[in-house]
Structure 1
Amino acid sequence: MTQTTTKQRWNDGIELLLYIICVISFIVFAVKGNVGKCFQAVLIVVTLLLLRGLIIWTKSELPAALRFSILLFIALTMMVANMFSMYGFIPYLDKIEHLLSGVILAFVGMYLYSRLIKSHESPGMPAHKLGIWFSLWFAIAMAGVWEIYEFTVDHLFGLNSQNGSLTDTMLDMICGTIGAIIAALYLRFTFRKK
């Protein structure tokens, strides 16, 4: 069994665990009459199924690190923070989420880049070095796009996802950038080993 297969099996186990937690949570919240929390449990399951469906539909196999970081992000943001209402109990949970989003986006950038390179191979191009830079800048750019989205939604619908603060916005972008740098360093060392 290859190391990639082992990592993917771990990811399968994590995904299964998330399904089990959602089913148990749905039952507990249903007994308590908490419809909103039941909806959140269903939403997590739908998100996991959509991710799996997208992978099957596009006939793609996500790298183990990307899939793991996505599953961790779903567990952290949708389950721990929202369904179990831990924003008030875990300090800086929002910043941790933005840090992890930087990691995910860097992995997504590298994944997109590697797919593009496979379809347009050119000899002599240092694919992995260029790919690492692409993934880094892709993730940083997407962190900025996300903050633009939050700003727009806050102003259009009177929400407060940015806490009405430039400091919150900048710290979110900084966390996303740090996450992207961490992922880029991980990718660099991974490619160096190969």
Structure 2
Amino acid sequence: MNHYFELALYALAAVCFVYFLIRGIYAKVFEAVLIVAVLALIRAVIKFTKVELFPALRFSILLFIFVAMFLANEFGFYTIFPQLDKIEHLCSGVILCFVGLLIFRQINKNKEAVKLHASTAVWFSLFFAVAMAGCWEIYEYTTDQLFGLHSQNDSLVDTMWDIICGTVGAGATGLYLSFKAKNQILT
């Protein structure tokens, strides 16, 4: 299923490329190229690191690309649906929690003698995701200050809601992981 979703994203990017090229909207043409580059980069990183993404993580990443890069940027949904940014931060919390779990598994994959409770993996994943939500807001603040951007809408309220949304997404994913891993031991 994820394979077809990824192929659909490539196809949609190609359609956007041609459409916006014909219309002479070169910023949107560049965004279509950027989407293909991001998809290819993700595939290259996975191949280079030899890490197998579990289906839920791969789906979350592809869905995030669709929402953030296609709906928000290519099709201008920020003006149609102002809360789209919050949905993106919710999704990023989900993705980052799964990435935290992936990192935890990679760190501990060769430790046969040490048995770790599944709850340790879930807590690590949750804390990783929440920390990354904060790091992302630091990045946004820095780029706003250096380049005169307005990704934080010059608002502490926007920043805090972004962190809250990322934390809620991570928390929901942590609950899901807890349910899936109840009473299991991870090695």
TM bucket by the smaller chain?
Answer: over 0.9
Listed as ranges, the matches of 1:41-190 within 5 Å are 41-126=32-117, 128-190=118-180
Distance 1:96 1:124 in 2: 36
Write the distance in 1 (CA, Å) between the matches of 2:128 and 2:160.
17
Structure 1 position 123, deviation (Å)? 3.4
Q: What percentage of residue pairs aligned between the two structures are identical? A: 52
After TM superposition, what 4+ stretches of structure 1 lie above 3 angstroms from structure 2?
A: 121-124
C-alpha distance in 1 between matches for 2:148 and 2:105: 40
User: TM-score, normalising length from structure 1?
Assistant: 0.91
Amino acid at match of 2:93: G
Question: What CA deviation, in whole Å up to 9, does each residue of 1:72-117 have, x standing for no partner?
Answer: 0111101110011110112300000001001100000001001111
Q: Aligned-pair distance for 1:159?
A: 1.1
List runs of 5+ in structure 2 lacking aligned partners. none
* TM-score w.r.t. length of structure 2: 0.95
Count of aligned residue pairs for this structure pair: 184
Unaligned 5+ residue runs, structure 1? Answer: 1-9
Q: CA deviation at 1:193?
A: 8.8
| Distance across 2 between alignment mates of 1:183 and 1:92 | 21
